[in-house]
Structure 1
């Protein structure tokens, strides 16, 4: 059901007038004046513990500093980080309204159920209607809840794969949106390269995320077209699934022109495209790959790093590098213990454009979010993406792309130098029981079946 204009206005009022939500006393975990860093945040699964957990810790810090009476909206596919759960429980205890929609299969575990037990204590399934702020009355007076979507929250099949963390007031920052490729889980921190972008001071953007979050919390297919798309300043957000035909990624790529870049953007007047993509396969994946290669054939520079491509698509991209010198390809997959599973790889889902995009001949753009380049992410599951036109954010993402390629990837189609071979100092070989993300105790020795399931899930990335 499409939300009424009155409800959208109420949601906007909710985030535009934080004084209505914020109490006078605040328990903070940081110095007075703290607020989350804006722009890009990136983890490094090949570095120390702090670097691995940088994204999760960034979200946790915002939760720890959420003001009494403020609200947090969360959607995530996986959720097993104990510290994150503890921060959310403490926030709820001090009067923060915490509203969470989680995937009913992959996020339903012992840790997330701790949240559900606390937040859902006053829930009443038969209670009808909504509060003035748009929250369903079924969630109780504390306005907090955890709901597990049984398939796609707003669709009929697949999963809730969205990942966003939204705060009406944290520290000294109001109306904060965080969009990430990372879940709040161990696998996201230790087994994949991930990104998160933080946007502050955007009440209308928060209201749009809140609007979709209300739809997701109902856990039923929305009638009509389920794609939601809005522009707020330099940001353009989309929420899937999409029932109608057409691919928004292809539509965006069609705006790229390979010549005419000015103002220092691009390279020698040509547009430059950089891609970091996790799952990339099937017909939709091929359509996007063909479009990218077509752009390179027209004169653009195209550099890509992949994490989980289909074998046919990997061959297609590899063959393209052999005939077009403007196309470069890197493989981020690292199998450090030489078993059947990759320990580390790119889990990002972003691409960058510098050059001629639409009418802008000096564009610096970041297109990121949760959607892999595969069919299900378009028409089946819940996903969220954001397109950003901002040179500073592009610079942060470009530096991270360079870091992934230099530190954690190997060039496809070239001889692998000794320094980047498995067993080298940079990529030391691990014994099977020491592999990144593996449990310290073999699963056969774990006492309970649920513990085994939860532990195996913690290794997941997606």
Structure 2
């Protein structure tokens, strides 16, 4: 299957099975908790862990010493190798000599770094005048890297009766081991990805397995940064933990419902991730939640943003769209995700991620910037109105006639999970105006407010806008699976250009809640991406799990996407 097609190619089967595997080589240390942010991440460096304690002041002026009833001496200590990569081991060597008049037994070497193991002596018994070689070893840690090397510390040769002599080890320089230890070598394509919950196993897991394969292809010294509303998938968490273990800086932010509140909204797998890699953002790897919007004062943390400083042969990979990292997102939702390789875009998104991590209101929460051909709006946008809604401004520039395509009529396709409230109303009125002006419009949705539906589905003027409700239901009438997409794509006249092709896609539903939550919308110009989204729209439209809306049906409940029922709905 292509990234954007409906029917998968069978040749993907082996690759997708391989994508389920995780793990790989494990470098020294339990996790990447002591790992500084990867270089060269464009904007941010993670605070390194505190360095190991240095020895006493004597360490700066090493001296030999001896105590005990009988005598023993040690030679100056050497280290081999004399420089290390993180995770490598150096061996300290000294020669111990019995300078006393009695035999020494139980000889061993010890040192005051307990990170690896105690040392040993080749001979454990020395008669007067005899000597032996003694060794101790230590492993270079990330703390040593931060401190500029393995510091000098004491190494002691001690006998069973307490006779001992000591000296100080030389300082050993440490540099970062950044060899590629990723268990997979997958490079994600720059394209749009879709999953279909009632398709084959491959088409259901198209997005999920692509993300897992990407995680598994990030080597040590690189970074994974994720900001996502819901994370509830053991395979994804396993891949993230394995990445942290091999030296990747793994940072994950989710909405607070993943760990608090009603049990139905919580995520056992995300709580396991937090418990395993930690939640302190002073560490190189961590997982945390925001109780509401991370960059605002209300709403939710609702982004779906995935940043990889390197994956396979590519650097600066960004992914964004409607897909959470949950089993529900694959097995029970229609979703989309766009991948893009761009250092400038990665840097822009990484700046926003840094603000998300701080979990305090940003001075300018709404940001609008274009990087390497993609324009991205980051929300919240408090106090927004129809006059300041960027989507309203975008739709206002669409001209319905004079298109270079489709017999002169501009084509507009809308896939929207939830469309309601004041914002939903003014966007519905704008879409209706485009329909009345002659645009070729069709809409797919899962949840729609009654007032919005009355506008779009009115028989007045040109008649009802063609629509499909994309959802399935349990016997009691509750929703089982549903369209979770959030996009608009058009081809035709935009402003004075009769040959425009633009796609707006991201995380934002058409409701008031989108202005108070952490959200993003990407604006893509280009016929290729617009064609991909139109094909995806057509695949869903023709599917067996869509239905023509009833002109008289109404929602019997208030829509509250920020409430616990919808949160649990998303996670499970």
Q: Deviations over 1:412-442 (max 9, x none)?
A: 469xxxxxxxxxxxxxxxxxxxxxxxxxxxx
Q: Supply the distance in 2 between the matched residues of 1:347 and 1:255 (Cα, whole angstroms).
A: 26
Unaligned runs of at least 5 residues, structure 2: 1-39, 46-174, 260-265, 552-563
Q: Counterparts in 2 of 1:53-72, with a 5 A limit?
A: 53-72=205-224
Say whether 1:94 aligns with 2:94.
no
TM-score (norm 2): 0.63
Change (3 A) 1:410 1:461: farther
Q: Supply the distance in 2 between the matched residues of 1:411 and 1:402 (Cα, whole angstroms).
A: 14
Structure 2 partner of 1:249: 391
Q: Deviations over 1:395-417 (max 9, x none)?
A: 11111100000013123469xxx
Q: Supply the distance in 1 between the matched residues of 2:540 and 2:330 (Cα, whole angstroms).
A: 15
Match of 1:164 among 266, 284, 305: 305
Structure 2 partner of 1:439: none
Match of 2:181 among 17, 22, 26: 26
Partner of 2:271, secondary structure, is: helix
Partner of 2:452, secondary structure, is: helix
Structure 2 partner of 1:232: 371
Calculate the aligned-residue CA RMSD, in Å. 2.5
CA contact (8 A) 2:44 2:354 kept: no
Structure 2 partner of 1:333: 471
Q: Deviations over 1:434-453 (max 9, x none)?
A: xxxxxxxxxxxxxxxxxxxx
Structure 1 partner of 2:570: 460
Q: Counterparts in 2 of 1:36-435, with a 5 A limit?
A: 36-106=188-258, 109-120=267-278, 123=280, 138-140=281-283, 143-200=284-341, 202-223=342-363, 225-245=364-384, 246-262=388-404, 265=405, 267-320=406-459, 323-324=461-462, 327-335=465-473, 337-378=474-515, 380-407=516-543, 408-412=545-549
* Over 6 Å off, 4+ runs: 454-458
Q: Deviations over 1:117-160 (max 9, x none)?
A: 23227x3xxxxxxxxxxxxxx522xx221121011101111210
Q: Supply the distance in 2 between the matched residues of 1:370 and 1:21 (Cα, whole angstroms).
A: 37
CA contact (8 A) 2:428 2:456 kept: yes
User: Is the helix fraction higher in 1 or 2?
Assistant: 1
Deviation, structure 1 residue 47: 1.5
Structure 2 partner of 1:6: none
Q: Supply the distance in 2 between the matched residues of 1:253 and 1:457 (Cα, whole angstroms).
A: 30
Q: Supply the distance in 2 between the matched residues of 1:82 and 1:145 (Cα, whole angstroms).
A: 17
TM-score (norm 1): 0.78
Larger Rg: 1 or 2?
Answer: 2
Change (3 A) 1:24 1:14: farther
Change (3 A) 1:456 1:221: closer
Partner of 1:344, secondary structure, is: strand
User: Is the strand fraction higher in 1 or 2?
Assistant: 2
Q: Supply the distance in 2 between the matched residues of 1:93 and 1:458 (Cα, whole angstroms).
A: 31
CA contact (8 A) 2:397 2:494 kept: yes
CA contact (8 A) 2:295 2:361 kept: yes
Deviation, structure 1 residue 459: 4.7
Length, aligned pairs only: 382
